[in-house]
Chain A
Amino acid sequence: MRRFLRPGHDPLRERLKRDLFQFNKTVEHGFPHQPSALGYSPFLRLMAIGTRSGAIKLYGAPGVEFMGLHEENNTVMQIHFIPDQCQLVTLLDDNSLHLWSLKQHGGASELREEHRFTLKGPPGSPPSATQVTAVLPHSSREVLYLGTESGSIFVLELPSFRVLEDRTISPEAVLQRIPEDNCNRRSCELVEALREHPKNPDQILIGYSRGLIVLWDLQNNKATHHFLGSQQLENLYWQRDGSKFISCHYDGSYTQWPVSSDNRQPEPLENTVPYGPFPCKAISKIYWQTTKNGLPYIIFQGGMPRASYGDRHSISVIHGSQQTAFDFTSRVIDFFIIFSSDPAAEFDDPSALVVLAEEELVVIDLKSPGWPAVHPPYLASLHCSAITCSHHVSNIPLKLWERIISAGSKQNIHYSSMPWPIDGGTNIAPDPPQRDLLLTGHEDGTVRFWDASGVCLHLLYKLSTVRVFLTDADPNDNMNTLGEDEWPPLRKVGTFDPYSDDPRLGIQKIYLCKYSGYLAVAGTAGQVLVMELNDEDAEHVVDHAEADLLQDQEGYRWKGHEKLKTRDGPVRFEAGFQPFVLVQCQPPAVVTSLALHSEWKLVAFGTSHGFGLFDHQQKRLVFVKCTLHPSDQLALEGPLSRVKSLKKSLRQSFRRIRRSRVSSRKRRGVSGNTSEVQEANAKFDQDALQEMELAPVQRKIEARSAEDSFTGFVRTLYFADTFLRDSSRHCPSLWAGTNGGTVYAFCLRVPPAERRMDEPVRAEQAKEIQLMHRAPVVGILVLDGRSTPLPEPLEVAHDLSKSPDMQGSHQLLVVSEEQFKVFTLPKVSSKLKLKLTALEGCRVRKVTVANFGSCKTDDYSENDLAVLTNLGDIQIISLPFLKLQIRYPCIRKEDVSGIASCVFTKYGQGFYLISPSEFERFSLSTKWLVEPRCIVEMPEVTSNNHVHNKSGTENAARKS
C-alpha cells in the first residue's frame, strides 16, 4: 500500500524530517565588511563595531558576540555606550539616533533596538541646525548631549529620547560670557567635541570646530572658562585628574590647556607639532594617559608630514623617549585605549591600544616592552589576501589538532602573551561537539587553517607554498626591514595585505587527510603540492615532476601564463606542513579538481585539459588522460588569450561605433543641403537608437553539444574501492567527471604494502560514461551494499567508520549540474534519476554527502545530499532514493560569489562568504548547531557607583 503514497505524504517521514532538518543562519565569522564606527564600554568590557550597511556587532570575551541591524541600512557614524548600563546609542548618517540594549531572554542575553529618534529643529530651520556631530552620554545616565552643525547643543532625556528644550545650550548663550573682540557668531559653528569633566559631572567641555573651547557649567548654565585655539579643532581629551585637557588640531599639532579656578581665559601650556616642522596632516583623535612613573602615554591618530607620509594610516604612541608610529595597511576608522577602569585608581595605567582599521582589528600590548601586537581570538581578517577556495574537515583527531596548533604557535611567537583584554560577558554555549578545521586558500599562495569548531573563527596556522617557487619578489627583502627612514618611526602592523606578487601562486584546491596528516594543495598555474606534517624545521629537496596532459595532441599552443619556476636544491621549511612532491601540469592551466588517497598514496588532479594520477610514494606519474575536445580552442589556449580576445572585441566594437558616428556625420555633411535626406537620416538614427534601447534581455535556447567550450574541463575526481569490472572482485578505482558530462573510470592496481615501493601502480581505463544531457559533472559517489557512501581513506583503519559492505551490490551516483543519477555497478545500468533542472530550472552548484542525526533519539542518523543551487537555495535530497526532502532559501541568487564560496561540512553545516572578509555560518541539522549563546550581566558595583556619580567622584575611565 505504501508505494501508492506520493512522496512527501508519509506522516512518519514528515515527523522524522522535522527531527532531522532545520535551517538556521547562526553566526558571522571574520571581519565586518566596511566598518564605520567603533565604541567601547570599560564598564561592560565590550566593544561595538558599526558598519556602512547599518549592522552593529558587539564583542567581548571569546564566544561573546551580538549582532543587530538597523532597519534603515544606513552607515553607522558613531557608537556610544551609556555609562554603567547595558545600553548603547548609535548615530546613523541619516541623523537618526538609536538606543540598543542587552536584555536577558531565555537564559541568554540579546541585543535589541529599543527606540529611535531623529532630532527636529523648529519649522523652517536649515537641516544643519539639527545635524548631530558630537554625542555625549552623561555619566548621570539620564541625559544625552548632542552637539550639532549649527553649534547648538541639545539635551535628550534617556531612555525616552525626549528633547529637554529648556536645557539647550545655544551659541548665543555661550558667546554672552566671552569678550567680543576674540569671538564672533561664527566661532560657535559646528560642535566638534563634547567631553564631560572627569571629576565633576556638572561641567562639560565644548569644542567648536573653529578652535574655540568652552568649559560649561551645567548647574548655572554658563561658561566658566574659555580657551582660544588658533587652529581648527579636531578633538579633545581630559586628563584623569581634570586639571588639564588636551586638544588636537587640523594642522597636526596638539595643545595642553590648564584648568584652574583663578584664570578664566588660560593660555596654552604647551603646543607641539610632533612630526613638524613641515606641514602635517590633522591629528584627529588624541589620548593623554598618566602612569605611575610619571611619564605619560600620548597616543594620537594622524599628524604625519603631509608631503612625504601623508598617505599613511598611522597611530603614534609616545611614552617618554619611546615613540612608534604604528602604520596600518588600511584606513583607521577609530581606536580606543584600555586602561584602569577603577575609579579610585590614581593613574590611567594604559594596557592596550585597540585600533579598528578598515580591513582589520589590531590590538597593541602597551605593557610589554616593544609594544607587540595581541593575537585576536575573533574578527580575523579572512581576506588579508583574497580567499580563492575553502575546504572543511570535520572531527579532527586530537593528535593532528595538537600538532597543527603547535606548528602555529611557533609562527606566533612575535605576538604578545597578554590575555585578550576585551573580556566582557560570559560564554554559556556548550563546548563545541568536535574539532573542526576550515582551510582557506588565498591568492598569495597561502593556506590558512582556522579553528571552526565554535563561534570564534580563530587562526591556528598559516602555510605558505611560495618557498617552493622562484618568484620575482624574493621573500627575503621585506618591506619592513629595508627602505624605511628612521623618522618618523613607522612600524608596519597588521596582516592585511591584498597585493599578490604573482597571481599564479593562488591556491585553487585543497585536500587534507585528517588521519595521515597528508595535505594536497593545487594552484592557478597547474601546480600540485603534496605535503606532510613535520613537527620540526627541515631542509630538503622537493621532488619535482611534470604531467603533460596534452600528450598525444599536437599543434596547439598554450597562450596563457607560464608555469612557475621552481627553486633548485634543498629548501628550508618551518615546522608544519612541508611539501615533498611537486607536480606541475603542462599546459599550466588552473587545477580544477583534486583528490588525495592517503592509504594508496595517490594524488589525482585535473585541469581544463585532462587529468593525471601521481604516486607520491614512489614519486612517479602513473598516467595522464587528455579530456580535451579537439575543437575546443578556448580551453587549449588558456584564460589569458580569452581576456585578450575580449579586449580586442571591445576595442573593435568601440571602433565600429566611432566609425559609424563619423560616417553618419559625414553623410549629413554631404547631404546637408537637402533637408529631406537629413530628416530621414535623423529618423533612421533615432529608430536605430530606440531599437537598441528596447531590445530586451533575451536568452538563447540551444541544446548542448559536444563541441561546446570547456567540455574537457575536469570538474570532479573521486577514489573508490568498488566493483568496476565484475561483481566478484573489487579494486581501487579513480573516477573523473568533466564539464561535458563524461565520466571516466580507471581501474587501479596498487601493490600490497610490503611491495609498495617495488612494483609500479598500474591504471587501466575501465569505463567511460557519456551523460546524454551533457551537463557538467559536479559530483561522483559510490554507495556500498547498504547504500551508504564509501568511507574516506583510512577512516576504517582508524576504527572511525564501519567497513563498507562489499557483499551487496554497489551503486554509482553521478551528480551533474542538472540531474542526479544512480547507476548499478559493475554493469552500468541506470537505476534512478532526479532531473532537477528540467523540473525546477535550477542547477546544482555544490553537493556534499552530509550526515544528519535526529535531535530526538541518539541512535538514528542518516546520510543525505546537501545541495546548493544557482538560485541560492539549499535542498536536502535523500540517499539512495533521490527524493527531495526539504528546501531552504539561503543565499540571494544575485550573490554569485556567495554561492561560489559555499562549503558544506560532513554534519550538515556550511559556510559562505557574505563579503570578502566574512563567512556566514549556517546549519541544516537540528543536532549540530554552533551559535553564540552568551550572557552579559551588569557588574555588581552598580548601586555603589551611582552614589559615586552623584557625589562627583566619577571616573574618566567610564567613557572613551
Chain B
Amino acid sequence: MNRAQRGAAGSRGLGTMEVKSKFGAEFRRFSLERSKPGKFEEFYGLLQHVHKIPNVDVLVGYTDIHGDLLPINNDDNYHKAVSTANPLLRIFIQRKEDADYSAFGTDTMTRKKNVLSNVLRPDNHKKKPHIVISMPQDFRPVSSIIDVDILPETHRRVRLYKYGTDKPLGFYIRDGSSVRVTPHGLEKVPGIFISRLVPGGLAQSTGLLAVNDEVLEVNGIEVSGKSLDQVTDMMIANSRNLIITVRPANQRNNVVRNSRTSGSSGQSTESSLPSSTPNILGSLLQGEEESDEEDIIIEDSGEPQQIPKAAPTSESIESLSQIELLHESTQNGFLPSSELSLNHSAGSISMEYEVPEPGRKSLEEEGTIITL
C-alpha cells in the first residue's frame, strides 16, 4: 500500500497521469491532468473520441490497486479512479449490450483462472444467465458465511477477504478449553478461542465473529492438537484469504437450514454426513485460495507484473490435484470442458497482448498491474 502511494506521489509531481484504455483488442494511450480530471461526462466523451466509437453505448471500468475491476459511471468513482491510479490508469471499455456485469468486483481479475471456484460455485459461472438488478457500485465483499449446507448447524465457516480491503484483520486468539462429548462422557479438551476483536477491524465489522467463539478449522485444517503459536502462524499465512470455521459462543443466531436439495454447491447433494466432509473440503479450500496469492515480478527494472502460473506438467502436485478434482467434478455431474479450456488459457497467459480468446474476457491477458 505504502509503495503504491509513493508511486502515485512520484507521478503526481509531473502533474499528468497516463491512461491506458482498452476496447476490444485495441489500446489507446493518452494523458490526463491529474489535478483537474474534470467531469465523468467529459471523460466518457473523451474515451468515445479516442476509440472512435462516438455512438456506441459503453460501460467503463478500471482496475484498482488490488487488481479488481471497478466501474466508472459517475463523478465520484471517476475521481476515485483518478486519485488512486498510479502511475497508470487502466481503463476497460465494454459495449453495453454484451457487457458482463459479473466481471466487476473482487477477484475479478484472477477468478477465471481458477479451476476450483468454477467447480465449486457454478453460480459464478458466467454461462448462467445473469440477472441484472442494478449497476454494481464501488464496493466489494469483505466477508461471507460459506458452506452452510454442509456444516453442522452449530458451526459457522467465515471467509474474510483481506485482499479487498485496507482494514486490518483485527482479532486476537487465545488458548482455552471446551467441553466435548466423547464415548467416555463429557471431556474437557484444549481449544483455541477468539479473545478480542480490534474495533474497526475486518473481523469486527463483519459481525460474523465474536469473542469466545471457538476456532475449529483454519482454511480447512483442523486446529485441534495445535498450539496457539501454530494456529497463529496458520492464520497469518492464510491471512489474504482466511477461512475460519468457528463454533460461535452465541448459538442463537445460527443459520437455519431449510432443505438439503436447495444447496448451492454440488457437493452438498452428495454428502450426507457433514462430519465426513471437512477434510475433502479443506483441500478444496486450499486450492481455491491459490488465486489470491500471485507473487509479483519486476523484470529488468520494468513494470511489475503478477507472476503467471506455468503450464502444469503432468507430474506437478497442482496438476495432480486439479486432475483429481476434475475427476470428482465429473462424478458430480459437471462437464469437464470448462476446465480444459481454462488450462489452455492458463498456458497462454504468458504471452502479452494476445488477441483474446472469444467468449473469454480479455482482462486477464496482462495480469493485474500492481505498481511499486
Contacts and interface: CB of A to CB of B under 8 A. Distances in A.
A824 B310 contact: yes
B270 interface: no
Interface residues of B, number: 61
Interface string A809-846: 00000000011010110011111111101111111000
A4 interface: yes
A767 B299 contact: yes
Interface stretch (B84-92, B99-107, B258-266, B315-323): B315-323
B169 A829 contact: no
B233 A772 contact: no
Interface string B272-314: 0000000000000010000001111111110010011110011
B313 to A, nearest CB: 8
B235 interface: yes
Interface string A764-779: 0111111111010000
Given A698-B196, A765-B301, A706 B234 contact: no
Interface stretch (B27-35, B145-153, B172-180): B172-180
B238 to A, nearest CB: 5
Interface string B304-344: 10011110011111111001100100000000000000000
Contact of B237 (A705, A775, A870): A775
Contacts of A819: 237
Contact of B221 (A631, A839, A871): A839
A818 B3 CA distance: 23
Nearest to A699: B232
B316 A832 contact: yes
B190 to A, nearest CB: 12
A833 B316 CA distance: 9
Nearest to A771: B295
B295 A837 contact: no
Interface in B197-243: 219, 221, 226-240, 242
A701 B169 contact: yes
B297 A702 contact: no
A283 B316 CA distance: 73
Contact of B327 (A4, A698, A705, A870): A4
Contacts of B299: 766-767, 828
Contact of B317 (A699, A702, A832): A832
Contacts of A706: 1-3
A841 B293 contact: no
B96 to A, nearest CB: 35
B316 A831 contact: yes
Contacts of A821: 295
B15 interface: no
Contacts of A829: 307-310, 350
B230 A702 contact: no
Given A700-B172, A775-B237, A883 B317 contact: yes
Contact of B234 (A768, A837, A881): A837
A832 B311 CA distance: 11
B24 interface: no
A703 B162 contact: yes
Given A701-B173, A831-B310, A773 B237 contact: yes
A823 B233 contact: no
Nearest to A831: B310
Interface of chain B: mostly helix, strand, loop or mixed: mixed
Contacts of A835: 237, 286
Interface in B6-30: none
B83 interface: no
Quick one: which of B1, B299, B300, B317 has the most chain A CB within 10 A? B299
Contact of B307 (A704, A769, A883, A893): A769
Contact of A701 (B236, B286, B316, B324): B236
B168 interface: yes
Contacts of A842: 230, 233
A88 B206 CA distance: 70
Contacts of B231: 699, 841
Contacts of A631: 2
A823 B296 CA distance: 12
B307 A881 contact: no
Contact of A840 (B230, B301, B350): B230
Contact of B308 (A704, A770, A771, A830): A830
B200 to A, nearest CB: 13
Interface in B331-362: 350
A698 B195 contact: yes
A882 B286 CA distance: 16
Contacts of B301: 765, 768
Contacts of B307: 769, 823, 828-830
Contacts of A699: 172-174, 228-229, 231-232
B235 A701 contact: yes
Contacts of A705: 1-2
B174 to A, nearest CB: 4
Nearest to B305: A828
Interface of B: 1-3, 162, 168-176, 195-196, 219, 221, 226-240, 242, 286, 293-301, 304, 307-310, 313-320, 323-324, 327, 350, 372
Given A698-B172, A823-B310, A832-B316, 7 more contacts: A3-B323, A698-B174, A703-B169, A769-B295, A772-B296, A830-B308, A838-B238
7 contacts: A699-B232, A700-B232, A766-B300, A769-B307, A830-B295, A830-B309, A841-B227
3 shortest interchain CB distances as A-B pairs: A841-B230, A703-B239, A837-B237
